Structure 1
Amino acid sequence: MSRRPFDLDPSRAVVVEEVPQPAPTPVPATPPPPPSRFKFGWWWFWAGVGLLTLALLIAESIASTLYWMTTQPLFGYPLAVLLLATLLAGCIMVLREVRAVRRLGSLPDQRADAARLLTSDLQGQSTSLIEPVLERVDDRPALVARFKEHDHDALTDGERLKLFERTVVIGMDEQAYRAVVRGSRDIGVLTALSPLGLLDAALVLWRTMSMLRDVARAYGLPLGAVASAMLLRRAVRNMLIAGLADLVTHGAANAVGGGFLRLLSAKAGQGATNAMLAARLGCEAMTVVRPMPFVLAERPNLKRLAGRILAPAETTEGTGVVKSG
């Protein structure tokens, strides 16, 4: 049988085995560098200017005191005692501010740990979250006694945290609600009565900072000026992230009727608007300083507070913050 051109001869076929190739060596993925916590900005610039000014004032005060101690001892030594007392008081204030700032900065991690333990069936890990809060509210023994009355070793971490929220934290929420209502109402009245726009801004800022300190104090966190400014910044940031839709949806007009604001003068309407904004800010501050997430209690919202702010003072007790069911 004749073969055609290019036909293969099966008897001459050679089978070549495939040589296995070595598996490629896996290259570990390089994790991205962590974001730097240090970001230069105007805050650091003004902080440096303030520290430099403070250092110059202290140096000049010490030099002047030493001069008067040398030339006029009867005047210089009392001045030295006064300067020493002032510096000591300043150091104590700085230490308190640092402590308050660190405590405020640790709250997000604390809430994250609490959220993780809420579903835990283990025991013993919730103590490190509960005991520091109980120590901070030792001036309210009723809350502490209520928790310890129902607490026992058989409870899991999740059950203990829910008990802690029901017996202690919700009581803190009620005090914080009252602080927000008082502050918002004062801001609305001060704005309505103030004749000058610049005075409006000063009064609103002063009363807002006071309200934020009262809210933090309700959760056992006494704040100074720096920590209060940090709380204000975080509350404003959260408010901007969440949006002001509820301010429009559940604002003063929705709470007391659409015809209410039309009966007010422009100044009184501005006061009501500022009161609602302050209440929204207070709600966000509550979420920032609360020691654990909202589980048995509803998150604070403007709809609940609007009626209380515009209601008579004797009818504003009670919030109904516990979730139904």
Structure 2
Amino acid sequence: MTKAPRAILLGEKAAHEVDVDDGVIRQGDVAILPESEPVDAAEPAAVPVAKRAFSWGSLFVAGLSGFLALAAGVWVQNTISALMSQNPALGYAALVCAAIAAFALLVMLLRVLRDILRERKVESLRQRGADLLVGGTTDDAKALAGELIGLYKGRAQTAKGRGELEEAMPQLFAPRDVLTVAERSLLAPLDAQAKAQIAIAARRVSLVTAVSPRALVDVLFVLVACARLLRAIASIYAGRPGTLGLFRLARQVLNHLVLTGGMAAGDAVIQQVLGQGLAARLSAKLGEGVINGMLTARIGLAALAVCRPLPFVEATPPTLSDVAGDLASWRGSKAEAE
């Protein structure tokens, strides 16, 4: 190993006379400054946040729900007893109606439980897929692929993809390869359907809100269109949710938007709406239609990220320009034609 060249200055002091002053080494007329190296300070360990066993709000809701259930039960019992004493036929009719209502309520609760379990399964699959991309075994990846096959076993449109994945799995020996083939075989067609639904919803919202005369009509239509879009995307990936399942999905989508900053009308929206000179060519109402369509597309993309049972492995996550990029150009061409 060759040494770097160095210069020796001859001064009044001999070369061997060395002075040390506040960490500065002086040898003759040469001052050597010590190089400060960063010291890895020990970072304080993160204090785990203690989870509360219960909250007063949850306790209040539980107590109020129990009280209302007991009150409803007592009211039904008193009503049926009163009708029995007055007219047995009316009493039995009321008893049959109460039984039908109880059975319908039980079915609704079972559907809600099914939706919750299905959503948790999708979340678990997505989290396991993300962990496997960081590090994992091939057996775990094949087990995850098997669960994906079971998730879409009842769908005829995924039969070809399930067959391709089952045929290719014995020849795969890396977790990423297994997830890539699973994504390509099962999720790529579903992604195309979801992006098509988002694009259709965005164009519909943009058109209707651009021509509607009332702001209240705009708000109601956007809410209905977003609810239909959430249900459609959930149906594509994990099954059609019920009413309560739709509310739970909407909450997850809003949480995703808050975490990713997707609701902010940031640079992407401004560039697409104003960057092409549309501000000078479009009326305010048409501009509102473009903004509403793009926000609908953002909500659809968030729903896609929440409902997709795998993270994006090989495929590129869809962006706003992929599903709503034609809104600005369409508005611009329409304004020029006018």
| TM-score normalised over the length of structure 1 | 0.72
% same residue: 26
Worse-matched range after superposition: 53-62 or 281-290: 53-62
Paired residues of 1:187 and 1:204 also in contact (CA < 8 A)? yes
1:300 Cα deviation (Å)?
2.0
Report the counterpart of residue 155 of structure 1 in structure 2: 172
3-state SS of the aligned residue for 2:170?
coil
Paired residues of 1:188 and 1:272 also in contact (CA < 8 A)? yes
* Counterpart mapping for 1:1-325 below 5 A: 32=47, 35-36=50-51, 40=55, 53=68, 56-57=71-72, 59-118=74-133, 122-149=137-164, 150-156=167-173, 157-244=175-262, 247-251=265-269, 254=272, 258-260=276-278, 262-308=280-326
Q: CA RMSD in A?
A: 3.5
* 1:72 maps to amino acid: N
* 1:155 maps to amino acid: L
Distance 1:185 1:199 in 2: 16
1:283 Cα deviation (Å)?
0.6
Report the counterpart of residue 15 of structure 1 in structure 2: none
1:125 Cα deviation (Å)?
2.2
Unaligned runs of 5+ in 1: 1-28, 313-325
1:165 Cα deviation (Å)?
0.2
Report the counterpart of residue 18 of structure 1 in structure 2: none
Distance 2:80 2:316 in 1: 58
1:276 Cα deviation (Å)?
0.7
Distance 1:49 1:200 in 2: 36
3-state SS of the aligned residue for 2:148?
helix
Paired residues of 2:273 and 2:279 also in contact (CA < 8 A)? no
Distance 1:154 1:294 in 2: 22
Paired residues of 1:253 and 1:261 also in contact (CA < 8 A)? no
1:48 Cα deviation (Å)?
6.5
* 2:302 maps to amino acid: E
Alignment CA distance shift 1:197-1:142 (3 Å): closer
Alignment CA distance shift 1:244-1:290 (3 Å): closer
Unaligned runs of 5+ in 2: 1-43, 331-338
Distance 1:131 1:271 in 2: 44
Distance 2:245 2:281 in 1: 40
* 2:101 maps to amino acid: T
Report the counterpart of residue 323 of structure 1 in structure 2: none
Paired residues of 2:142 and 2:169 also in contact (CA < 8 A)? no
Paired residues of 1:247 and 1:276 also in contact (CA < 8 A)? no
Distance 1:130 1:287 in 2: 19
Distance 1:303 1:145 in 2: 30
Report the counterpart of residue 16 of structure 1 in structure 2: none
Aligned length: 284
Paired residues of 1:101 and 1:226 also in contact (CA < 8 A)? no
Distance 1:58 1:206 in 2: 35
Paired residues of 1:147 and 1:168 also in contact (CA < 8 A)? yes
3-state SS of the aligned residue for 2:229?
helix
1:193 Cα deviation (Å)?
4.4
Distance 2:50 2:66 in 1: 27
